[in-house]
Amino acid sequence: MAVKRSWVLKQDAGDGKMKEISDHIYEGALAFLNAEYKLLTIFVIIASIALAIIAYIVPTTHMLIIVAFIFGAIFSALAGNMGMKIATKTNVRTTQAARSSLPKALKISFGGGTVMGLGVAGLAVLGLTVFFIVFFHYFMGGVWTNTMDMTVVLETLAGFSLGAESIALFARVGGGIYTKAADVGADLVGKVEAGIPEDDPRNPATIADNVGDNVGDVAGMGADLFGSYVATVLAAMVLGNYVLKDILASNPTFTDAFGGIGPILLPVVIAGFGILFSIIGTMLVKISSNDAKEAQVQSALNIGNWVSIIMVAVASYFLIDYMLPPTMNMEFYGEGAKEIASIRVFYAAIVGLVVGGVISSVTEYYTGLGKKPILAIVQKSSTGAGTNIIAGLATGMISTFPTILLFAGAIWASYAFAGFYGVALAASAMMATTAMQLAIDAFGPIADNAGGIAEMSELPNEVRTRTDILDSVGNTTAATGKGFAIASAALTSLALFAAYVTFTGIDGINIFRAPVLAMLFVGGMVPVVFSALAMNSVGKAAMDMVYEVRRQFKEIPGIMEGTGKPEYGKCVQISTKAALREMMLPGLLTIGFPIAIVLLGMLIYPDNNELVAEMLGGYMAGVTVSGVLWAVFQNNAGGAWDNAKKSFEAGVMINGEMTYKGSDAHKAAVTGDTVGDPFKDTSGPSMNILIKLTCLIGLVIAPILGEHEASEHGLATPSATVIEQPAVTGLEQREEVTIDRQIDADGNVIATVTVSTITEKETIKTTEEIFEGTPEEVNQKIAEFKENR
């Protein structure tokens, strides 16, 4: 990433005017992020206090979760910040390159995207790995003890994911509101009232509009996928822990080349390899001809993407073969334990990769230029905005049909192959190429910005034509990227949902219990209300922008003649303030509801934590089902309206007549696009975070409701049993080391290490030693004890 970054930054950043505009965008974006981070610091402090309370009450939740949470939040912010910095530096360099050559412009803009993709994926794997290693050593002394201990490790690690996803919520929602408020506001006054073109430097909101592309599509998307990535891998690790439990149930002496934790490490390793393959994939994205059209650019991206996907598939086969035992004993809910071959886990991973690929095609079909649904919307535009809107809504709604059948099939199939571990592995495999996906995604807004800079700097038309080609491809990848994001969010949520059920130790979630069913309804409602709030926020923020632009047009002399300089900064400020203000309520809704349900449930059923856990589970399921539906509906309807409008640029045939921009039908299509804007860029993409965060909050709350064995003993960490390899004669006689850890009020550990020899007939306790001290000291002593034996 650093290599690519320094290469990009070394490129020519163009001359005076271009650089000035680019700097405005850079500063505006940073100003937003800084204001956002200030606000989020307060949120992180409040959330940390809440976590501290949970950790204080619940014996199995350790205070370290707060550290993990804070680092998750910081990493997520860092990922967004880094991506945005490089994107805002790359835009002007792309413009400069486009003055001479299209291939170079692609190389630079995609290079910027690659930096972001690798940064996000790298930070995710780094953060997860480091914290896993730290917690693994802290709680288990770096060796496998038992399922319960590992549960504590992973529960603490969930804090990292929670931190990442919380920041993602605000980045996505805030960024989404920002970008559309600036866009709609700039259009309403600029295009409609003043009659000046898009990206015209006389429009005071134009810088804010370009900043919006970065904070929404780059930083927001980056934080979103960072969150998905972390959550997916975490969920797969949690479920891997339960796979291990099932394996040990039938084979207590099980171990492997990874100290017995192969199933837990597998998802991280796949993620790590995915980054390598993404790098190879990004290297393949290039075009040679300066006269290339959209199709060539798109196919260059496709080649890179497919190569990295296929490499992940191949690598998964070998990794699964290497890291998992050939057959595993796996518990299928309601069907009992089954002996399954590890190849079935590979099949599940393939399901994930297929979903990732197919969802792009489905999205492409419903939102792509020249496709049947778009043509139908174009035709309906001839009878007015009303029929255009109905057609767009209907297209978005119908697009849920193949999408949901695909998801439902994927859930079913990957579960049938390898239980919920299979579902999580499907998600992990799909997410493995996140770096590549993000590179493809982030290159779009960079190209869009590059075009804006060309327009504002009044560069020759050919420059704009070249950036327009990149921008147009970027629009398609933005739509398919949203498909990928929601698919990953859906599978991630299900994996988290499964992890939640196993964490709480409930028997499943029975919607025939009325309180659970009631919460299913409530959960179904939340994404709808969340979307409405986000849409209304865009409307309010856009109106703020309209008033400011009107004021500047009136008060600054010579602004329309190009002699007066608009106050770009004021507009950036207004968008920033509005976005931060408006993201509060949706955020509160997301975080508040699960907590309210648990509190209400515990109040009404004080002795029935199991029912409360099921209620929360019903809520999670409701949010997930409804959230996925509304995400698909809104993303695809928005994308369809957008491209229906774009169709008029090249001209469309309506009732036998060629119709162009400026016609009544085009105006109707513009109205549709106005409705679609918040759909596809604000409320639609927010659904991803809503469903993931809901399930993560559930996971973090789970220990309160769960009935871990440990909590029965009142221990801070539960008893831990290390079973070492059979010592002398195969299975007939083996040695067992039991380590029982208790943590006192000061955080010191009292560990009782017992060594026993077990034969078929009897168990003979040979040694018992007690160690006391800080966790680190005790681990050290145990290690010494083992060495000396």
Of residues 529-588, which lie at the interface with a copy of itself (CB under 8 A)?
529, 531-533, 535-536, 538-539, 543, 546
Q: Which is nearer to a copy of itself, 149 or 673 (CB)?
A: 673
Q: Which is nearer to a copy of itself, 170 or 366 (CB)?
A: 366
Nearest 10 degrees: CA dihedral of 709, 714, 716, 719?
A: -50
Minimum Å gap between C-beta 577 and a copy of itself is: 21
Residue 73: which of 31, 45, 93 has the closest Cα?
45
Sign of torsion over alpha carbons 402, 405, 411, 413: negative
Cα gap 172→85, rounded to integer Å: 17
Q: Are 69 and 164 in contact (CB under 8 A)?
A: no
**Binders of a copy of itself in range 437-496 (CB under 8 A):** 494
On the CB side of 293, CA atoms within 13 Å amount to 1
**Binders of a copy of itself in range 589-608 (CB under 8 A):** 608
Cα gap 519→551, rounded to integer Å: 48
Does residue 511 interact with a copy of itself by CB under 8 A? yes
**Binders of a copy of itself in range 186-215 (CB under 8 A):** 188, 192
In Å, what is the CA distance from 251 to each residue of 259, 330, 506?
A: 15, 12, 25
Backbone dihedral angles phi then psi of residue 605, each to the nearest 5 degrees: -120, 70
Q: Which is nearer to a copy of itself, 232 or 626 (CB)?
A: 626
Per-residue binder mask for a copy of itself (CB under 8 A), 286-325, x = binder:
----------------------------------------
Per-residue binder mask for a copy of itself (CB under 8 A), 320-339, x = binder:
-------------xxx----
Specify the stretch interacting with a copy of itself by CB under 8 A; choose among 358-366, 414-422, 764-772, 773-781. Answer: 414-422
Q: Which is nearer to a copy of itself, 6 or 510 (CB)?
A: 510
Specify the stretch interacting with a copy of itself by CB under 8 A; choose among 441-449, 549-557, 626-634, 748-756. Answer: 626-634
DSSP 8-state class, residue 513: S
Specify the stretch interacting with a copy of itself by CB under 8 A; choose among 58-66, 283-291, 500-508, 699-707. Answer: 500-508
Cα gap 545→695, rounded to integer Å: 35
CB-based contacts of 537: which residues, under 8 Å, 6+ apart?
177, 181, 578, 582, 583, 585, 586, 682
Q: Among 175, 617, 684, 703, indicate the residue that binds a copy of itself (CB under 8 A).
A: 617
Element (H, E) at 725: none
**Binders of a copy of itself in range 668-707 (CB under 8 A):** 670-675, 678
Q: Which is nearer to a copy of itself, 283 or 337 (CB)?
A: 337
Minimum Å gap between C-beta 388 and a copy of itself is: 9
Q: Which is nearer to a copy of itself, 120 or 235 (CB)?
A: 235
Q: Which is nearer to a copy of itself, 190 or 672 (CB)?
A: 672
| # chain residues binding a copy of itself, by CB under 8 A | 81
Backbone dihedral angles phi then psi of residue 355, each to the nearest 5 degrees: -60, -45
Minimum Å gap between C-beta 134 and a copy of itself is: 32
Minimum Å gap between C-beta 544 and a copy of itself is: 13
**Binders of a copy of itself in range 112-141 (CB under 8 A):** none
CB burial readout 340-371, b (16+ within 10 A) else e = bebebbbbbbbbbbbbbebbbebbbebbbbee
Question: Which 3 state secondary structure label does DSSP give 93?
Answer: helix
**Binders of a copy of itself in range 245-274 (CB under 8 A):** none
On the CB side of 525, CA atoms within 13 Å amount to 8
Ramachandran sector of residue 754 (left: φ over 0; alpha: ψ -120 to 50; beta: rest): beta
Minimum Å gap between C-beta 536 and a copy of itself is: 5
**Binders of a copy of itself in range 420-439 (CB under 8 A):** 420, 423
Minimum Å gap between C-beta 114 and a copy of itself is: 35
Cα gap 650→652, rounded to integer Å: 7
Per-residue binder mask for a copy of itself (CB under 8 A), 151-190, x = binder:
-------------------------------------x--
Cα gap 385→393, rounded to integer Å: 12
DSSP string, 297-331: HHHHHHHHHHHHHHHHHHHHHHHHHHHS-SEEEEE
Q: Which is nearer to a copy of itself, 134 or 397 (CB)?
A: 397
**Binders of a copy of itself in range 380-409 (CB under 8 A):** 380, 383-387, 389-391, 393-395, 397-398, 400-401, 404-405, 407-409
Q: Which is nearer to a copy of itself, 56 or 333 (CB)?
A: 333
CB atoms inside a 10 Å sphere around CB 256: 17
Specify the stretch interacting with a copy of itself by CB under 8 A; choose among 43-51, 436-444, 501-509, 559-567. Answer: 501-509
Residue 456's Cα: distance from chain center in Å?
A: 33
**Binders of a copy of itself in range 642-671 (CB under 8 A):** 670-671
The token pair at 770 is 């007690």
Q: Among 12, 15, 321, 507, indicate the residue that binds a copy of itself (CB under 8 A).
A: 507
Minimum Å gap between C-beta 69 and a copy of itself is: 27
Minimum Å gap between C-beta 380 and a copy of itself is: 7
Minimum Å gap between C-beta 352 and a copy of itself is: 14
Element (H, E) at 337: strand 336-341
Residue 709: which of 309, 204, 126, 146 has the closest Cα?
146
Minimum Å gap between C-beta 80 and a copy of itself is: 27
Q: Which is nearer to a copy of itself, 449 or 671 (CB)?
A: 671
> How far does the chain reach from its first CA to its final CA, in angstroms?
47
Q: Among 80, 174, 524, 684, indicate the residue that binds a copy of itself (CB under 8 A).
A: 524
Cα gap 382→384, rounded to integer Å: 6
Q: Are 485 and 427 in contact (CB under 8 A)?
A: no
